[in-house]
Amino acid sequence: MIVACAVSICGIIGWVGLLVPHIARLLCGSENTRLIPLTTVLGAVFLVVIDSLSRTLASEQIPISILTSLVGAPFFIYILRKNTRN
């Protein structure tokens, strides 16, 4: 519930709160001593990469929300389908 509230408030980069913890959990499992630091680092790296792409892909800056949605929506659909099969 707390994560859902945080994602709804941050809005334009809301996919980070949904996408990055799932990726981190796929990489290191569910042990919190490794999961929380990895999630923090992956979130920072993800936003730096997306911000760099938004500034360099076009002559004008593309909004970060568009790029995070282009990455986040397909991955989120993949996670949902994977969970419904199991």
Task: Round to whole Å and give the CA distance between 84 and 82.
Answer: 6
State the pLDDT at residue 48. 92
CA atoms within 13 A on the CB side of 49: 9
Q: What is the mean pLDDT of residues 35-39?
A: 95
Residue 3 — pLDDT band, cuts 50, 70, 90? low
Task: Round to whole Å and give the CA distance between 21 and 35.
Answer: 8
52: closest CA among 43, 64, 40, 41? Answer: 64
Going by the DSSP 8-state scheme, the letter that residue 30 receives in this structure is S
Q: State the pTM of this model.
A: 0.76
Q: What is the mean pLDDT of residues 42-62?
A: 90
State the pLDDT at residue 11. 63
